[in-house]
Structure formats: structure tokens, C-alpha cells
Chain A
Amino acid sequence: MKQIQEYEKDIASIRNMMERSSKFISLSGLSGVLSGIYALAGATVAYFTIHYPISPVHFRQYSLQTPEALSKLVLIATLVLAASITTGLWLSHKKAKKHGEKLWNSTSKSLVFNMAVPLVSGGIFILIMLYTGHFGLAAPACLIFYGLALIQASVNTVDEVRYLGFSEIILGLISASVPGYGLIFWTIGFGVLHIIYGGIMYNKYDK
């Protein structure tokens, strides 16, 4: 017969296994802050490309007049995305190593798969919108699909990711109802929110 402390240890180990086998905890909070900064930098360049010299809060029904401006915007967005993914992978790899875990394990695999479904469908949808000239809803669509991807991913990682996802969706819906301010909402969603939630995660898990 086992001692009572042994059963308590059993229960602790069950909890630990359930957590470790299903949650990817090496996600770096610092990389969230950095992607927020990249997004702010990208948004600044984008502002000078499409709005300047008009103030960003001034209502604009048609912000995209030229195909050159559009291709510049797509290029900026792609650069921000690529820089964010690279930083995220690099810092999470470092963090996983510190915890003696692998970056590419069964949990991170299902994390990537869960995120990919809304991200890829959203990405294609936005490209179709841009191609068919529906520029006004592209920024809100980015925020909404990204929010959905985060909520999907949150099953396999820390809870903050879920709250970030809900915030992105709410922001996206507000943005959709006030056309012309896409860039401002995009900046809040991908810049400010990433810095806030990345900072919370950094304080809670990275230290």
C-alpha cells in the first residue's frame, strides 16, 4: 500500500503531464513585443506611403489611388510578417533550449496546424479582396482572421494568446464599421496589442 504523500505526488505528476503534453510553453513573450515594434515601424512607412501629408485621423474614403501604393503596402506587410516569424522562431528556440525541450515537438506541430487553417484561408481571402478592388475591408479582415488563428492556437499554449485573439477580433469588427481608418486599427492590433500582451507574457513566463 502506498503512502498518502505518494498519492499526492501522483496527482501532481498527472497535472504536470497533462499540461506539458498539450501546451507549448516555450512561446517567447519578448518576440511578441518585437513584432509589435516591427508593425509600428511598418505602419509608419505605410502612413507616409498612402496618407501623407493628410493627418491619419482625417476621414479618407479612398486611401489607395495608385497600384504602386498598393504593392508597396503588400511589400511592407510581408516584411513585417517575415521579420516577426523569424524573431518568434529564434527566441522560442532559445527559450525551448533553456527548458531542455525541443522547439518542434508534437505540441508545437499541432499549434502550427491549428493556426494555419484560419491564417491561410484568411490570407487567400484578403488577396482576393485586394485583387477585386475591395481595399476598404482588407485591414479589418487581417485583424479578424489573425484573431481567429490566435484563438485556435491558444488551445496549445498560454492563456494570454486567447485574450489577444479576442481583442484582435473586437478591434477588427470595430474597424470594419468605420471604413477609411484601416491603417490606425492595423497599427493598434498588430503594434500596440502585441507589445502589451508580449510584455505581459514576458513578465509572467520569460523571466
Chain B
Amino acid sequence: MKNPFDNLDKVLEHRVRLQIMSVLVTNDGYEFSSLKDVLDVTDGNLASHIKALEREKYVSVSKSFIDRKPNTKYKITERGRTAFKKHLDAMEAVIKQQK
């Protein structure tokens, strides 16, 4: 049997990234500031992890202005959804194997 560890997504190994993906998979679009509140992380921390997910094209970003204030909204991509699901399946397999 193939080693289930091979199916784990290196990009999603970090918990903050996993949490970002969980929020975006349940909600149709989420703002940067709301994401920061719900995850309870700093601006810089969230920005760097979001960047990593953007680079993999797991999330898409749309910028606009609301009342002349910049507003950044993130959405999960199909690629991101598939990767998230695959990573969850891999985690499940790892846990099952160890028990």
C-alpha cells in the first residue's frame, strides 16, 4: 500500500493555512479583516499565509473600495477545494493507519 503521508499537501501542513481554507470552504467569500478576527492572528501573519495560498492558486483575491476604504475579499478556487479535500483524506488515512 502507498504511504498515506505522500498524499499530504506540504502547503497545507501549516495550521493557519488549514484554518484559512476551512473558513473559505464553508463561506462564499470572506474579507481580510473578518478572517483576521475569526482566526485571531496578526495582520502580517495572515498576509504571509494568504500569499502562500495565493501563489498555489488555492485562493483568489478581489480588491475593491467600500466607502473609499480598501476592501480585500478572498475566495477558494476549484483547485484549492480539491487540494483541501485531498489533504483531509490524507490526514484521515494517516490517523487510521496509526490506530
Contact = CB atoms under 8 A, between A and B. Distances in A.
Interface of A: 1-2, 4, 7-11, 13-15, 17-18, 20-22, 101-102, 105-106
B27 A22 contact: yes
Contacts of A2: 13
Contact of A106 (B19, B30, B39): B30
A73 B83 CA distance: 57
Closest 8 CB pairs of A and B: A17-B22, A106-B34, A21-B23, A14-B22, A18-B26, A17-B19, A22-B26, A4-B98
Contacts of B31: 106
A21 B15 contact: no
A101 B34 CA distance: 11
Contact of B23 (A1, A9, A10, A17): A17
Interface of B: 5, 13, 15, 18-19, 22-23, 25-27, 30-31, 34, 37-39, 88, 91, 94-95, 98
Contact of A7 (B22, B37, B91): B91
Contact of B38 (A8, A14, A15, A21): A21
A111 B61 CA distance: 24
Secondary structure call for the B interface: helix
Contacts of A14: 18-19, 22, 88
Contacts of B34: 105-106
Nearest to B91: A7
Contacts of B39: 17
B37 to A, nearest CB: 6
A1 B5 contact: yes
A78 B98 CA distance: 61
A37 to B, nearest CB: 34
B18 A7 contact: no
Contacts of A101: 37
A105 B37 CA distance: 9
Nearest to A102: B37
A20 to B, nearest CB: 6
Nearest to B21: A14
Given A11-B91, A106-B31, 12 more contacts: A7-B91, A9-B15, A13-B19, A14-B88, A17-B19, A17-B38, A17-B39, A18-B26, A21-B22, A21-B30, A101-B37, A105-B34
